[in-house]
Amino acid sequence: MKFIFVDNPNEGGIKGAQVFKNALANNAKTFGLATGSTPISTYNEITKSNLDFSNKISFNLDEYIGLKPTNPQSYHFYMNKYLFSVKPFAQSYLLNGLATSEEAELARYDRLLEKYPIDLQLLGIGKNGHIGFNEPGTPFDLTSHKVKLTESTIKTNSRFFNNINEVPKYAFSMGIRSIMSSKQILLEAYGENKADAVAKMINGPVTEQLPASILQTHQNVIVIVDEAAASKI
């Protein structure tokens, strides 16, 4: 793992956008994208830049089940708002949280991921060490799957909703196996509420109880952290 220590998320965004720029220079074709508050500064830097993704492909990590793409809490909406409206890709794939056949939707995503291998995957990290929506206990060898969100994640993510009852209980997520297939991974973490998860990700045992710990076994990971998130390393 290579570490980039930054003073704040804004500086992290500058470094994050640089990683995207380098990937483009190395002819990356497919980008794995993340949501949450963490990647916003990177997306802001990308939208201000002259980086061009118009002939690239993107995949998103996850989506809530049951939210329409027009729902401001959906990850479809988030991606349009923070990135795609300014930096469109040739094709952007997201899991469809309204799919009538969940099985068919997951199979569709896996087929696409096999067809277009990810060159750079962006990740945040949950307070409990989840990546995408791969909660603690998720087998490392899963591809796309349906997730029952943990109470911890529902509570943490309720800050984006009017009240906790509006937070969906289920989501679709790309699996850890798909994430690990990416050529390069960029994980960003900011703030002291990420400090435990970051420390365990780096120094703890590689265990399904802390999904991000699997990244210790990937050959090409860049971690951008601020001082607070790095405080327990």
What residues are labeled active site?
A: 62, 128, 130, 135
What is the number of alpha carbons within 13 Å of residue 124 lying toward its C-beta? Answer: 25
Is residue 211 within 8 A of residue 136, CB to CB? The reply is: yes
DSSP 169: S
Nearest residue to 2 via CA among 186, 137, 205, 214: 186
Nearest residue to 187 via CA among 230, 149, 151: 230
Q: How far is the CB of 97 from ligand GLP (least distance, A)?
A: 12
Q: Which is nearer to ligand GLP, 157 or 182 (CB)?
A: 157
DSSP 165-216: GGS-SEEEE--HHHHHTSSEEEEEE-SGGGHHHHHHHHHS---TTSGGGGGG
- SS3 assignment, position 164: helix
Q: Which is nearer to ligand GLP, 153 or 213 (CB)?
A: 153
Q: How far is the CB of 201 from ligand GLP (least distance, A)?
A: 12
Q: Which amino acid appears at position 10 of this protein?
A: N
Cross-strand bridge partners of residue 187: 123, 223
Q: How far is the CB of 231 from ligand GLP (least distance, A)?
A: 16
Q: Which is nearer to ligand GLP, 26 or 193 (CB)?
A: 193
Q: Which is nearer to ligand GLP, 28 or 33 (CB)?
A: 33
Q: How far is the CB of 27 from ligand GLP (least distance, A)?
A: 26
List residues near ligand GLP by CB under 6 A.
34-38, 61-62, 124-126, 132-133, 153, 157
Is residue 8 within 8 A of residue 190, CB to CB? The reply is: yes
Q: How far is the CB of 46 from ligand GLP (least distance, A)?
A: 16
Q: Which is nearer to ligand GLP, 58 or 153 (CB)?
A: 153
